[in-house]
Amino acid sequence: MEREPAVVAVTNKKGHKSEALTALMGAALALPGINAQAAEQGYRSDQVSFGYHHTEYKESGDRMSVTADQLSITVPIGQSLETNFTATKDVTSGASPVVNFLDGEGKPHQFLETGASIEDQRDIYEGTLSYYGDGSLTSIKLGTSEEDDYESNYSNISVKIDINDKLTNLSFGYGHSDDKVWNSYNPNVLLEEPSIFNNRRKDEFSIGIGQVINRDTILQFSVTYVNSEGFLSDPYKKSVVVDEALIYSPELLHFLGFTDVSDFRDLDNPILNVAGLFSTLTDLGVVQFLNDSGITAALNKLFDIPEISAFVFGLEKDNRPESRNQIISLLRLSHYFESTNSALHADYRYSDDDWGVYSHTMELKWNVGLGLGWQVSPGVRYYTQHSAYFYDTFFETIPEHGYLTSDYRLAGFGAISKKLEISKSFGRDFTLFVHYEEYDRRYDFELGDQTNGGELDDYTFSLVSVSFDASF
Amino acid sequence: MSNARPLQWCHYDFKAMGSPCSISLYAPDAQQGANTIQQAVADIVRLENKFSRYQKNNPLFHVNQAAANGASIAIDDEFRSLLNYADTCYQQSNGLFDITAGALRHVWDFSSTNLPQQSDIEHALENVGWTSVTVENNQLSFGKPHMEIDFGGIVKEYAADSAANICLAQGTRHGIVNLGGDIKAIGPHPDGKPWHVNIRDPEHPGKHMGSLELINEGIATSGNYERFIDINGKRYCHILSPKTGWPVTGLSSVTVKASQCVIAGSACTIAMLMEDKGPDWLRNLGVEFLHQ
């Protein structure tokens, strides 16, 4: 028989399935390599994997340093479930700013926590259950975090759904936390406040969309709304209010023989230099001696030292509104460069709240694969923040709304961080990561008009983190 | 947000099942891509070792020993489901697709230039017949001796589907597995465009006889150009009819697209066996195809 000479292309696009095709499909789907169960496994790994992370964080000067260790284990269950348990222990030592005393000219000077040696341990335990559906991932997380003066119990649920042939993903999340906050009271330490116990509560809603633009580019956008209610102040922090300080009062100054007493800053008298006095006492070791010898403890039994010092020096407790509403939006563009086997991530984050704190964050990160399992990721981040409406380094008088804080985290400032992450994979199941970061915070790095803030809160920190992941 | 990152194109060429093969996919990074490909290739090698006719002491070898003796043998679930699939092909092709046609291979030597004797062919045909084979639970029994099973048109195609499923299970959403022309796609390209596969024209090297677009689908090609004997200018194809014992005529090449590569593979083999009625049969089946 002669071969058909011409090329004939015949297609059937009616989409109709014949009985024969239905029969073949049924038999094919019964094959173990093809069955739907395998297809539904999704992204789930079928290996048990362990991770260990160690982080060292150190701020400049005598501020905080943190050492953190984290252990995690991920165990698959059946075809589409996975559990993860993480235990983290971090130890914070050093000091955090408590109060800004004024010098004789009315300039604030910062004093860090006066405790002898502060060491706070925090223990965090988290469990996550994830379900990998066909084109979806649902996770439920429960966690608890405990430290000497803080306890948090939290939960969240998140759902990620792939649509549009997996070119688009949608994510939804809800988180809730119930926190207890108090201050650990050490009567041996000067100016420590007796304990108070309070609660705060946080609810968080997020929605996001990720879109594959083309083979090399992905765009992501998310919006998060956070509502916090309850005691949102810092039980350790205080602000100086000039009008409330006995030592700066015109009556006292007059009594002491000063004639023109309209403003203590014009008097140039060393007695009024509380900051200088306090730093001299600290430098000479007097404060340390009072604490160590038990004199502070004895005095604490006789008088309410914080109350008296608050009265004399005008120290007011940190006092913030009992409600905070934040909106955070994030735009992320990721682009892969085939020629250099690298990926660039560009993030822009805008956050705004009803405390007047709004911020912009811009971050660039470049992941470069060098081959042989090496990956290097340099990155740079700029952050700028507008101060809260009730923030100042010190106050002339208590604001009409009654709220006040000198917490550096609510000041106006800008910060630049430089990061470098290096990872090396050994085989397929073991990866080592080293992360280094340098952070420089300055009040005059703020974008646009300077808002309340001061150079006394300028600081830098460096962070080194080493971790590994292993799969078995 | 998720950790969606730009995807990296990973490609690996290898040789398996007597053919040049390749796996290409988009992965979050080269390491993950390589891990996925490694697992997919391991499965292809596993199937080759299990079902190759050219290896001794593998499961197919033991089954064919039982077939030669008209005996019984225990088989595993995967073997049983492949026999079940072959049974469906036999039913749907009115007995033309018969994996026991392997017995005819003994008389047809595609490396020689001589045609076999008609008496030898008729003798060999007596050893062909799927109806003499029974599968009960996981026990395979041959009702007569000198039989032989040949999984041509099924195993390589099934391996492509299975490898693609392994990639999918490892998180791959965009990729393509090509086992010597038996192709199975995983999703579309990341930009949503289908995979574009050009089908070579066996008659005119360097030219295409057409192209097919794939999203998640498989294609397979069957043709007389793969293995044949050329005697006095007449090409005798390696696809043997279980009815006549002779190589099929009529079509020189058929390419079929279906939801699974194994369906495409058996459909194009059946079309070749149907000879001139092949195109009509494919049209009634409801699949896209190209033929020559």
3-state secondary structure of A368: strand
- The token duo for B77 is 């679930």
Q: Do B33 and B67 reside in the same domain of the chain?
A: no
Distance from CA of A419 to the nearest CA of B (A): 19
Contacts of B269 in chain A (CB under 8 A): none
Contacts of A1 in chain B (CB under 8 A): 249-250
Neighbouring residues of A446: CB distance < 8 A, sequence distance ≥ 6: A384, A385, A386, A412, A413, A414, A453
In this structure, is residue A372 part of a structural domain?
yes
Q: Do B229 and B262 reside in the same domain of the chain?
A: yes
In this structure, is residue B1 part of a structural domain?
no
Distance from CA of A380 to the nearest CA of B (A): 18
CA angle B175, B178, B181 (to 5 degrees): 140
In this structure, is residue A81 part of a structural domain?
yes
Q: Do the beta carbons of residue B171 and residue A43 sit within 8 Å?
A: yes
- Please tell me the distance from the alpha carbon of residue A42 to that of residue A30, in angstroms, as a whole number: 19
A2 close contact with B: CB closer than 8 A: no
Calculate mean pLDDT across residues B216-242.
78
In this structure, is residue B2 part of a structural domain?
no
pLDDT over threshold 50, residue B9: yes
Q: Do B234 and B138 reside in the same domain of the chain?
A: no
Calculate mean pLDDT across residues A440-464.
84
Distances (CA, A) of B289 to B178, B211, B221: 18, 10, 9
In this structure, is residue B32 part of a structural domain?
yes
CATH code of the domain containing B64: 1.10.3980.10
Q: Do the beta carbons of residue A415 and residue A441 sit within 8 Å?
A: yes
* Residue of higher predicted confidence among A14 and B237: B237
In this structure, is residue A424 part of a structural domain?
yes
- Please tell me the distance from the alpha carbon of residue B68 to that of residue A417, in angstroms, as a whole number: 75
In this structure, is residue A15 part of a structural domain?
no
- Asked whether this complex has an ipTM greater than 0.90, the answer is no
Q: Do B202 and B178 reside in the same domain of the chain?
A: yes
- Please tell me the distance from the alpha carbon of residue A391 to that of residue A352, in angstroms, as a whole number: 16
In this structure, is residue A251 part of a structural domain?
no
Contacts of A13 in chain B (CB under 8 A): 288
A31 close contact with B: CB closer than 8 A: yes
In this structure, is residue B159 part of a structural domain?
yes
For helices B77-92 and B261-274, the axis angle rounded to 10 degrees is: 40
Instruction: Identify the pLDDT of residue A17.
Output: 59
- DSSP states of B166-192: HHHHTT--SEEEEETTEEEEES--TTS
**Could you tell me how many helices (H) and strands (E) chain B has, helices first?**
7, 14
CATH code of the domain containing B217: 3.10.520.10
In this structure, is residue A77 part of a structural domain?
yes
Q: Do the beta carbons of residue B105 and residue B116 sit within 8 Å?
A: no
Q: Do B284 and B172 reside in the same domain of the chain?
A: yes
pLDDT over threshold 80, residue A183: no
Q: Do B198 and B66 reside in the same domain of the chain?
A: no
Q: Do B240 and B165 reside in the same domain of the chain?
A: yes
Q: Do B22 and B93 reside in the same domain of the chain?
A: no
Q: Does A31 contact B78 at a Cβ distance shorter than 8 Å?
A: yes
CATH code of the domain containing A455: 2.40.160.40
3-state secondary structure of B133: strand
Distances (CA, A) of A136 to A26, B167, B238: 26, 17, 46
Identify the band that residue A125 occupies on the pLDDT scale cut at 50, 70 and 90.
very high
In this structure, is residue B224 part of a structural domain?
yes
Q: Does A32 contact B78 at a Cβ distance shorter than 8 Å?
A: yes
Instruction: Identify the pLDDT of residue A305.
Output: 78
- Please tell me the distance from the alpha carbon of residue A350 to that of residue A412, in angstroms, as a whole number: 15
Instruction: Identify the pLDDT of residue A116.
Output: 42
Q: What is the DSSP secondary structure assignment for residue A261, as one 8-state letter?
A: -
In this structure, is residue A356 part of a structural domain?
yes
Calculate mean pLDDT across residues A356-379.
89
Q: Do B42 and B167 reside in the same domain of the chain?
A: yes
Which of A335, A354, A351, A356 has the alpha carbon at shortest distance from A383? A351
Could you list the residue range(s) of the whole structural domain that residue B69 is in?
Answer: 59-142
3-state secondary structure of A116: coil
Counted domains in chain A: 1
* Residue of higher predicted confidence among A40 and B97: B97
pLDDT digits (tens, 9 = 90+) for A88-112: 998 887 766 667 777 777 777 777 6
Instruction: Identify the pLDDT of residue A47.
Output: 65
Contacts of A217 in chain B (CB under 8 A): 6
CA angle A186, A189, A191 (to 5 degrees): 105
- The token duo for A234 is 């810092």
3-state secondary structure of A209: strand
| Residue of chain A minimizing CA distance to B208 | A7
Instruction: Identify the pLDDT of residue B35.
Output: 86
Q: Tell me, what amino acid is at A313?
A: F
- The model carries a pTM of 0.58
Last residue of a domain, one of B142, B170, B201: B142
Q: Do B178 and B45 reside in the same domain of the chain?
A: yes
Q: Do B178 and B127 reside in the same domain of the chain?
A: no
Q: Do the beta carbons of residue A391 and residue A410 sit within 8 Å?
A: yes
Could you list the residue range(s) of the whole structural domain that residue A149 is in?
Answer: 37-244+312-471
Q: What is the DSSP secondary structure assignment for residue B190, as one 8-state letter?
A: T
Distances (CA, A) of A456 to A33, A101, A296, A384: 66, 11, 28, 17
pLDDT digits (tens, 9 = 90+) for A243-278: 888 888 888 877 877 777 677 777 667 677 777 777
In this structure, is residue A21 part of a structural domain?
no
pLDDT digits (tens, 9 = 90+) for A51-94: 888 877 777 666 677 888 888 898 888 767 889 999 999 888 77
- The token duo for A309 is 């010092």
In this structure, is residue B279 part of a structural domain?
yes
Instruction: Identify the pLDDT of residue B225.
Output: 63
In this structure, is residue B180 part of a structural domain?
yes
Which of B162, B252, B56 has the alpha carbon at shortest distance from A28? B162
Last residue of a domain, one of B118, B142, B166: B142
Instruction: Identify the pLDDT of residue A11.
Output: 41
Last residue of a domain, one of B142, B174, B195: B142
| Residue of chain B minimizing CA distance to A220 | B1
Counted domains in chain B: 2
End-to-end CA separation in angstroms for chain B = 51
